[in-house]
């Protein structure tokens, strides 16, 4: 039994004619008849009642007709979905992003992609930078948006591009003496109790070291009460007047002084958080390629 035999059989059943079925497939009536005979030999029963005019299906033929139609429909669906996946129209896209980046332009890009490719299943995962890196290398994610706090860009197995430069802000409670300032420097924070936003869960990464050096360049080591990658908890503690924090501006969307929070820009050339889009070099997913095309080149050319 093969798919062509099932197609011919369904055509004969629906036309109730060998001749019309043959015309549909540009074959001779003899060829169609021979294929139906082979199908009957395979299943071991008579499928067509040839004594009636027009011909009709036997009870066994009616059973096979229903099953054959279902098989052919599933085959058509399988072929269509496979072709769609090859062109990036369907499939899946697993996206990881660093904590605090959820209010960035990433949400807009995801919405645009979903509107263009509604059959691609999007799944988003918010993690610490070290977990994102491990997940990408292990194949859990197709692309991640992260600080390079684990030196992942040195890994020859990945490709990346600079996707965003996010301005850093000082998060203060409303009654803080510095809350009325229009700009601050690291030097202004010398005597403050700091709630340190860490890019990694361990609190001991290249990203942590980078920002600690910025404090040291200002002439001191910060008085750190807490290290955490949980943005919401840090902001809650700032609002409770436990301390202050330095956070990316993307963490502060939709927040205002009504939350007893005030945000003042941190001045300085290096007071930015660089977000990279990173993916495995061997990931040939068409959906990933379509998504990277939609992202554009960010602020730097991709490292192909």
Domain enclosing residue 75, as ranges: 3-86
Q: What is the pLDDT of residue 254?
A: 58
Phi/psi region, residue 254 (left: phi>0; alpha: psi -120 to 50; beta: rest), is left
How does the average pLDDT of the chain come out, rounded? 87
Are 13 and 36 found together in one domain? yes
Question: Does residue 178 fall inside a structural domain?
Answer: yes
Mean pLDDT, residues 261-277: 91
For the stretch 212-240, pLDDT in tens is: 999 999 999 999 999 988 888 999 999 99
pTM of the model: 0.64
Q: What is the pLDDT of residue 57?
A: 94
- Taking a C-beta distance cutoff of 8 angstroms, is the pair 259, 65 a contact? no
In whole angstroms, what is the distance from residue 304 CA to residue 302 CA?
6
In whole angstroms, what is the distance from residue 275 CA to residue 101 CA?
9
Query: For residue 139, what are the β-bridge partners?
Result: none
For the stretch 169-209, pLDDT in tens is: 999 999 999 999 999 999 999 999 999 988 776 666 777 88
Question: Does residue 209 fall inside a structural domain?
Answer: yes
Return the residue matching tokens 């007071």. Answer: 271
Q: What is the pLDDT of residue 293?
A: 92
Question: Does residue 302 fall inside a structural domain?
Answer: no
Question: Does residue 174 fall inside a structural domain?
Answer: yes
CA proximity to 149, closest of 188, 191, 100: 100
Question: Does residue 31 fall inside a structural domain?
Answer: yes
Mean pLDDT, residues 49-58: 92
Question: Does residue 190 fall inside a structural domain?
Answer: yes
Q: What is the total count of domains within the chain?
A: 3
Are 154 and 278 found together in one domain? yes
Residue 263 belongs to domain with CATH number: 3.40.190.10
Single residue among 40, 70, 86 that ends a domain in this structure: 86
Q: What is the pLDDT of residue 253?
A: 64
Residue 301 pLDDT greater than 60, yes or no:
no
For the ranges 59-73, 131-145, 152-166, 202-216, the lowest mean pLDDT is seen at 202-216
Contacts of the segment 238-241: beta carbons below 8 A, 24+ positions apart: 238/171, 238/172, 238/173, 238/195, 239/173, 240/173, 241/173, 241/175, 241/176
């Amino acid at each position: 039994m093969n798919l062509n035999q099932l197609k011919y059989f369904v055509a004969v059943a629906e036309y109730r004619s060998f001749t019309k079925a043959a015309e549909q497939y540009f074959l001779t009536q003899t060829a169609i008849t021979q294929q139906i005979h082979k199908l009957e030999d395979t299943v071991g029963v008579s499928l067509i009642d040839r004594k009636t005019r027009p011909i009709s299906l036997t009870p066994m033929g009616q059973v096979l007709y229903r099953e054959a139609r279902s098989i052919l429909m599933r085959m058509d669906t399988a072929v269509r979905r496979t072709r769609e996946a090859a062109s990036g129209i369907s499939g899946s896209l697993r996206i990881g992003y660093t904590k605090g980046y959820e209010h960035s332009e990433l949400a807009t890009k995801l919405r645009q992609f979903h509107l263009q490719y509604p059959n691609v299943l999007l799944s988003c995962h918010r993690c610490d930078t070290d977990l994102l890196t491990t997940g990408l290398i292990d194949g859990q994610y197709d692309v991640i948006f992260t600080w390079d706090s684990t030196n992942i860009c040195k890994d020859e197995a990945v490709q990346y591009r600079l996707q965003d430069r996010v301005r850093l802000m000082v998060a203060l409670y409303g009654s803080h003496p510095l809350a009325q300032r229009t700009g601050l420097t690291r030097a202004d924070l010398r005597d403050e109790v700091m709630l340190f936003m860490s890019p990694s869960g361990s609190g001991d990464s290249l990203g942590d070291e980078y920002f600690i050096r910025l404090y040291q360049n200002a002439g001191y080591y910060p008085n750190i009460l807490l290290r955490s990658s949980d943005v919401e908890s840090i902001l809650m503690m700032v609002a409770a007047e436990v301390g202050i924090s330095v956070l990316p501006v993307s963490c502060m969307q939709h927040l205002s002084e009504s939350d007893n929070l005030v945000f003042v820009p941190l001045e300085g050339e290096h007071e930015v958080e660089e977000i990279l889009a990173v993916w495995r070099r061997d990931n040939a997913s068409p959906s990933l390629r379509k998504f990277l095309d939609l992202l554009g080149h960010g602020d730097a050319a991709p490292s192909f």
